[in-house]
C-alpha cells in the first residue's frame, strides 16, 4: 500500500508518503515499510512576530502551501497520483480553520482518485512516531505527549486502544516554555531558546513549585507565575532561571510518568511532541534504570506528515473512512 499522510492541524503544512512494501536494512535487521518522501512548510517564522500562532494566518498559509508541497512530494517520490492507495489526514485536535484545509484537500483528492480517506487523531500519530524511529517497538507502553497544546499521558494496549490517564488542568508544558522565553527575550516559540540558555545555568539554584505530586493530574500555571515573578525580581540570572525551570518541568513529567508506569506494570515509555526534542528532558528520562524510554527523532517529535502516514497504515484496517458526501459533517 502507498499511503499519503497530511498534517495541517496547527502551523505546519506537511505531507509524506509511506510505502508498506518497501524494505530497508538497519544494523543486522531487515524491516518492511518506510517513508519514501516527506515535505514540510513550517510557519514559525511568520507567527513569531505575533508571539503565538494566529489561526486565520495559519489556515491561509496552509491553503497557499498544500498543493505545491503535494506536487513536490510526488516528484521526489517519482510516483504519480494514481499510485496512491489510501490517504490519511489529521481531523482532530487542532485549529479548526487549519484542519479544514487538510481535510478538504484530502477529501477532494480521495474523491478524484477513488481512494479512501482515513481520519487520524493527531495525538495518536504523535505517539506512533516513536515506532517509526524504533522499528521493534510495539505496545503495550505508556505514552507522554508534551507539546505546545498538550501534556497528556496515555496508556496504549496491545490492540492500540488509547486510555487517557493524565492531562494538564491548565497550561501545556510547551506553552510555559514559550511564555518564559517571551518574558525573558520576547522570543517565540521559546523551547529551543530556553534549552540553550539553560546550558550555562545551575538547574538546582531555584526551587520552583511542582503541583499535584500525588494526583493523576498536571498543572503548569503555578510554575509559570512563579518563574515569571522570579524573572521580574531580577534576583537570579536568566541562565539559572532557565535551567531551574527546565529541570522542574523534566522532573514533574518524569516523576508522574514513572509512577503511573510502575502502577500499571508497563516497562516501556514513549515520550513525544515538540517538548520531547528537549535534550535535558531526554537525559532525565533516559537516566532511569527501570524502564525502556523511546523518543522519536527530533524531526518526528514536532508536527509532521510522516507520523500521519504511518498512523494511517496502522489504523487503515479499522475501515473507518471519511464520508465523500460533500454535505456530510465530519467530527473534527
Residues within the interface to Zn ion (CB under 5 A): 147, 303
Least separation in angstroms between CB 309 and Zn ion: 15
Minimum gap (Å) between residue 7 Cβ and ligand KG4? 10
Q: Which does 19 bind (CB under 5 to 8 A by kind): Zn ion, ligand KG4, none?
A: none
Indicate which single residue of 3, 6, 10, 322 sits in contact with ligand KG4 (rule: CB under 6 A): 10
The reply on whether position 296 binds ligand KG4 by CB under 6 A is: no
Instruction: Please say which residue, 12 or 240, places its beta carbon nearer to Zn ion.
Output: 12
- Interaction of residue 192 with ligand KG4, rule CB under 6 A: yes
- Closest approach, Cβ 249 to ligand KG4, in A, equals 8
Is 191 a binding residue for ligand KG4 by CB under 6 A? The answer is: yes
3-state SS, residue 8:
coil
How near is the Cβ of 7 to Zn ion at its closest, in Å? 8
Torsion angle, alpha carbons of 218, 222, 223, 228, to 10 = 150
Cell reading at 77: 517520490
Looking up cell 492500540 gives: 160
Report the nearest approach of ligand KG4 to the CB of residue 122 (Å).
Answer: 7
Q: Answer yes or no whether residue 183 interacts with ligand KG4 by CB under 6 A.
A: no
CB atoms within 10 A of CB 234: 8
**φ, ψ dihedrals at 194, nearest 5°:** -65, -40
Q: Is 110 in the site for ligand KG4 (CB under 6 A)?
A: no
19 binds ligand KG4 (CB under 6 A): no
Identity of the residue, 88 or 189, whose beta carbon is nearer to ligand KG4 in the bound complex: 189
- Pairing outcome for strands 29-42 and 12-26: antiparallel
* Stretch touching ligand KG4 by CB under 6 A, among 33-41, 173-181, 219-227, 288-296: 173-181
Distance of CA 285 to CAs 194, 243, 249, 251, 266, Å?
Answer: 19, 16, 12, 9, 15
Nearest to residue 296, comparing CAs of 175, 130, 94, 142?
130
Q: Within 10 Å of residue 240's Cβ, how many Cβ atoms?
A: 20
The mark string for 193-232 relative to ligand KG4 (x by CB under 6 A, - otherwise) is --x-------------------------------------
Query: In terms of CB distance, is 205 or 282 closer to ligand KG4?
Result: 282
- Cell for 34? 518506510
Nearest-angstrom CA–CA distance, 321 and 115: 10
Per the CB < 8 A criterion, the answer to whether 115 and 316 are in contact is no
List the one residue out of 44, 72, 289 whose CA is nearest residue 174.
44
Give residue number: closest CB to Zn ion. 303
Stretch that binds ligand KG4, among 44-52, 170-178, 226-234, 260-268 (CB under 6 A): 170-178
The reply to whether 303 sits near ligand KG4 by the rule CB under 6 A is yes
Whether the ω angle into residue 278 lies within 30 degrees of 0, i.e. cis, is no
Q: Residue 154: in which H helix or E strand, if any? A: strand 151-156
Applying CB under 6 A, the residues found at the interface with ligand KG4 are 10, 147-149, 174-175, 177-178, 189-192, 195, 273-275, 277-278, 302-303
Amino acid at each position: 500500500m502507498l499511503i499519503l499522510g497530511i498534517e495541517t492541524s496547527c502551523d505546519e503544512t506537511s505531507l509524506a508518503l509511506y510505502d508498506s512494501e518497501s524494505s530497508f536494512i538497519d544494523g543486522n535487521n531487515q524491516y518492511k515499510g518506510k517513508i519514501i518522501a516527506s515535505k514540510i512548510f513550517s510557519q514559525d517564522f511568520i507567527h513569531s512576530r505575533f508571539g503565538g500562532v494566529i489561526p486565520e494566518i495559519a489556515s491561509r498559509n496552509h491553503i497557499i502551501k498544500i498543493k505545491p508541497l503535494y506536487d513536490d512530494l510526488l516528484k521526489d517520490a517519482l510516483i504519480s497520483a494514481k499510485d496512491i492507495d489510501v490517504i490519511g489526514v489529521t481531523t482532530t485536535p487542532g485549529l479548526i480553520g487549519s484542519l479544514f484545509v487538510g481535510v478538504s484537500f484530502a477529501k477532494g483528492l480521495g474523491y478524484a482518485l477513488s481512494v479512501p480517506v482515513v481520519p487520524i487523531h493527531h495525538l495518536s500519530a504523535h505517539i506512533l512516531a516513536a515506532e517509526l524511529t524504533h522499528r521493534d517497538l510495539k505496545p503495550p507502553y505508556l505514552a507522554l505527549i508534551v507539546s505546545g497544546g498538550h501534556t497528556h499521558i496515555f496508556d496504549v494496549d496491545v490492540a492500540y486502544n488509547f486510555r487517557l490517564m493524565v492531562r494538564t488542568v491548565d497550561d501545556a508544558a510547551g506553552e510555559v516554555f514559550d511564555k518564559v522565553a517571551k518574558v525573558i527575550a520576547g522570543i517565540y516559540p521559546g523551547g529551543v531558546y530556553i534549552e540553550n540558555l539553560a546550558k550555562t545555568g545551575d538547574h538546582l539554584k531555584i526551587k520552583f513549585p511542582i503541583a499535584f505530586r500525588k494526583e493523576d493530574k498536571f498543572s503548569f500555571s503555578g510554575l509559570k507565575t512563579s518563574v515569571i515573578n522570579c524573572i521580574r525580581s531580577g534576583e537570579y540570572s536568566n541562565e539559572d532561571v532557565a535551567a531551574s525551570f527546565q529541570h522542574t518541568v523534566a522532573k514533574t513529567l518524569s516523576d508522574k510518568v514513572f509512577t503511573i508506569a510502575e502502577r500499571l506494570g508497563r516497562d516501556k515509555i514513549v515520550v513525544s511532541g515538540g517538548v520531547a526534542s528537549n535534550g535535558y528532558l531526554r537525559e532525565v528520562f533516559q537516566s532511569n534504570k527501570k524502564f525502556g524510554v523511546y523518543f522519536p527523532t527530533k524531526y518526528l517529535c514536532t508536527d509532521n506528515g510522516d507520523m500521519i502516514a504511518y498512523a494511517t497504515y496502522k489504523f487503515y484496517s479499522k475501515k473507518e473512512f471519511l464520508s465523500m458526501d460533500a454535505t456530510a459533517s465530519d467530527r473534527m
